[in-house]
Chain A
Amino acid sequence: MNQTSRSSTFPTPDYSHLSVTDFDDIYEPAEDSFLLLDALEKDVDFLNSLSPLICLEVGCGSGIVITFLRQILVAPCLCLAVDRNPKAAQCTMRTGEQNHVQVEVVTSDLLNSFQPKLDGKVDVLVFNPPYVVTPPEEVEVDGLARSWAGGINGRQVLDRLLPDVHKLLSPKAVFYLVTTEENRPDEIKQLLQQDGFHSTTVLQRKSGPERLSVIKFERRLTAVT
């Protein structure tokens, strides 16, 4: 599957403004990106039922995911995006503009600058992390590899974010995460379960040697309201 075979109800955001030169520095949308778009699309009614006010994408790269999220949400909301790579932050803003949606972008490391002020306030959190299993020394080195090198079990970057997820999310929030089988998704689910989240696999797809999943985490309610 490539981007042209995606849904026409909610087409992939236009990123024709980005060129080969841009993709020397930022992650070019690939199967994992499109899987995430498909998962968000699959959940569009659920997402709109939440009436999210604040959405945040960590590691926005080209910007197509946060742009897409803004496009499929009906009610006005604040769409924030953060990336460690200043060029990705710039691309994300351009992608928002190209698709005529407002995205607010910050260059920062994970949730760093948005805490503590966004604690308990983010309604939709999205993260397609650097998930590829690599030697640990390849993780978080400046350059394009930063966008995909995940170190041991492909988890080194994700594991820095996980402890803060329950702090950041609002009571009715949802967190969408891209993983591969090698990331030990059951372990991730267990870690978030300890923080009060239950998980659902929204979509799975095999892409070459990668078995990708998009997992959704929501708070476990103790009583039905």
Chain B
Amino acid sequence: MRVTALRRMKLLTHNMLTSHVKGVKNGYPLKIEVNEMKIREVDFNPEFISRMIPRLEWKALYEAAQSLDVVGNLSPEVVKDYENDEDFLKEAHRVLMEVEVIKGFLICPESGRKFPIENGIPNMLLNEGEVGDAGPSQSGTSQDDDSMQ
């Protein structure tokens, strides 16, 4: 029997995603509605985590952890001298890399538009009517209406 690895979205990826539904002024951070999630052990690399900290929105990460009930000992703020704080980095690693959302939705904080997470991959495609003028250039081609909730 072949075992298929479950595909998943990490909170590290979620931290970088923004909703660009037409008319939305601030589509970040996306809320997360979880139907299925798991915790998976991933090798801890303190240098990688340390380098990643400045490229993250820590508040969004903390809120995501709260909503998934995985806060544990995650600090609500980035601590001073975090590069040398192994406990801080380990908790950051756990929340960023080991929490995996398999099924659920990312929800635009302003419009409520739900983007499905299918097999662990967020589908951020917009329908034709949702494509706005503001924000980065994007295609207006329509897609399945199934994704519109």
Contacts and interface: CB of A to CB of B under 8 A. Distances in A.
B66 interface: no
30 contacts: A77-B48, A78-B12, A84-B139, A86-B123, A86-B125, A90-B7, A97-B7, A104-B9, A104-B12, A106-B13, A106-B17, A106-B124, A107-B118, A108-B123, A109-B138, A109-B139, A110-B138, A110-B139, A111-B136, A114-B17, A115-B135, A117-B17, A117-B18, A121-B55, A140-B141, A141-B141, A142-B141, A142-B143, A160-B137, A164-B137
Contacts of A110: 136-139
Which secondary structure dominates where chain B touches chain A? Answer: loop
Interface of B: 5, 7, 9-10, 12-13, 15-20, 28, 45, 47-48, 51-52, 55, 57, 118-126, 135-139, 141, 143
Contact of B122 (A53, A77, A107, A160): A107
A223 B9 CA distance: 41
B104 to A, nearest CB: 14
A199 to B, nearest CB: 22
A89 B120 CA distance: 10
Which secondary structure dominates where chain A touches chain B? Answer: mixed
A145 interface: no
Given A53-B55, A114-B17, A107 B125 contact: yes
Contacts of B122: 106-108, 113
A164 B52 CA distance: 22
B121 A112 contact: no
